[in-house]
Structure 1
């Protein structure tokens, strides 16, 4: 068997026999060639190289054309970053518009994002650039005004004084209620048309926060993301984020003009508060929100597939 054929076969075996795959969660398309994986935080942008021909060798592509495609891909990647919603009030772009120094740092980070040219795991004649809504990028785009780990739950303007007084957050938990056994929280928000965001808040029916930035540290959110969004309710898939015994609750609706925040029943909110306080859930941000599948799923040959190749290459 020729060596050039043998090597791809071996590499393919190593890639597809991996015992565990990253939890991609909801994979949201952005324009042409862009995807956001809300499980891993992976941002991918793929662009074709001008002048590429399907039956030509990638080695024959002009270096100038490849460089131009990379520049275009990084511009698309920056547009995607700026469009991400931080919460129910602002996008990343709106936040950075008030801080030119911070905006320049984000542009510099994206301009030096990971690049992969045409090769074994790419569609013919394309380049791929990637970044993550984690670590350095998350540190830049999460506003310092967010009061992480304050233990003070936010209240919606619609919350009444009586509703606040009656919330489970102010009532003692029953001893031995069994909440310590849960390994995470899964909120089923399918059907409520929720919009993914970096810092959503889960509210109870009285408008008092049950989970969100006020219960988790900034460092943990930067490393893991406050929540992960997913479309698959398979327990084996979700276990990577929430463990094998998550608390399952149902969303009653979404709040805000962008529908980024979640409303759950008061009884469910009581359990969520108790579970988060009792275990390592807040430390690991072990919360998944189930959302509806995108109307148009990414095709097997587009950026979503390329993202998996990038992770395994």
Structure 2
């Protein structure tokens, strides 16, 4: 089955766009010891500094990329503290290279990972090193025998990493419903997409896969909102959507407000199913007023995803 976007979509590879269940944390382990893209995507390589290994993970709920660099501590004799400090310096010295490699497997949209875009976009990989300035270093953790030290680094998906893939300066207009539609003035949008859902254009179901820039469609494949239709200042601030596996909305109140429209996804779209599909009626309620189109433009959207552990909550207006 070949997945093609609706013909009216603009789809440049650098502007942002699997089967089975994906957890909240996309985990991979790599020995990031060569700067080549191919080595990073294959998951392991060996190079000139075998003392360093790297392990990274994405937490979509927290919106973070965590990179743990583990370094051998040479026998320093009576000067063990100095030896430990030198090991930390080894990690710090090449953090830009390790971070760039860790970004490669992150899913950008239904068609691309960052590594896919690097293959077709000259200079993109080199820009990844700029993410170092937004990376926070945690406290070093030593092994029980003090022979290795692990230094954690954390980078926010937005603005630190996501901004690398945002290039537009003015959003394109969001489609509007011209006919009168009964609706309300909502402060945000909550999409319930837990469990497995039908994948458009196929005969199978799948769980939603988080990504940096998901699109939202209705079941007629009308675009409700996509990356280029969003205000770039809000995109860089917090991305197009927030993800959670919990029904609690407390931590997202500043984003979705106190009166969001709560709806249930009817399906998914994409070669990798990252894009929720909603009903045409719900789409009309969002697209029929300036206020509701504005909340889409500002990314005031929360997606509840993951394994379906309990009954879906009642949908209210």
Scaled by the length of structure 2, what TM-score is found?
0.65
Match of residue 213 from structure 1: 227
CA contact (8 A) 2:242 2:302 kept: yes
State how 1:62-81 maps to structure 2 within 5 Å. 62-70=84-92, 75-81=97-103
Structure with the higher fraction of residues in strand conformation: 2
Residues 173-193 of structure 1, C-alpha deviations (whole Å, 9 max, x = no match): 34xx4521x211011111131
Tell me, yes or no, if structure 1 residue 101 matches structure 2 residue 123. Answer: yes
Say which SS state the counterpart of residue 100 (structure 1) adopts.
coil
Aligned residues: 243
Say which SS state the counterpart of residue 72 (structure 2) adopts.
coil
2:192 pairs with one of 183, 188, 208: 188
Deviation at 1:102, TM superposition (A): 2.9
Q: In 2, Cα distance between the equivalents of 1:52 and 1:190?
A: 48
Q: In 2, Cα distance between the equivalents of 1:112 and 1:271?
A: 38
Q: In 2, Cα distance between the equivalents of 1:172 and 1:251?
A: 23
Tell me, yes or no, if structure 1 residue 30 matches structure 2 residue 20. Answer: no
Q: In 1, Cα distance between the equivalents of 2:212 and 2:305?
A: 15
Structure with the higher fraction of residues in helix conformation: 1
Distance 1:219 1:59, change over 3 A: same
Q: In 2, Cα distance between the equivalents of 1:34 and 1:104?
A: 19
2:299 pairs with one of 269, 277, 285: 285
More deviation, 266-275/239-248: 266-275
Match of residue 131 from structure 1: 155
Q: Which runs of 5+ in 1 are unaligned?
A: 1-25, 154-168, 296-313
Q: In 2, Cα distance between the equivalents of 1:215 and 1:283?
A: 6
Q: In 1, Cα distance between the equivalents of 2:160 and 2:242?
A: 18
1:237 pairs with one of 243, 251, 254: 251
Q: In 2, Cα distance between the equivalents of 1:275 and 1:231?
A: 29
Deviation at 1:221, TM superposition (A): 0.8
Say which SS state the counterpart of residue 97 (structure 1) adopts.
helix
Distance 1:47 1:275, change over 3 A: farther
CA contact (8 A) 1:200 1:260 kept: yes
1:200 pairs with one of 214, 231, 235: 214
Match of residue 184 from structure 2: 179
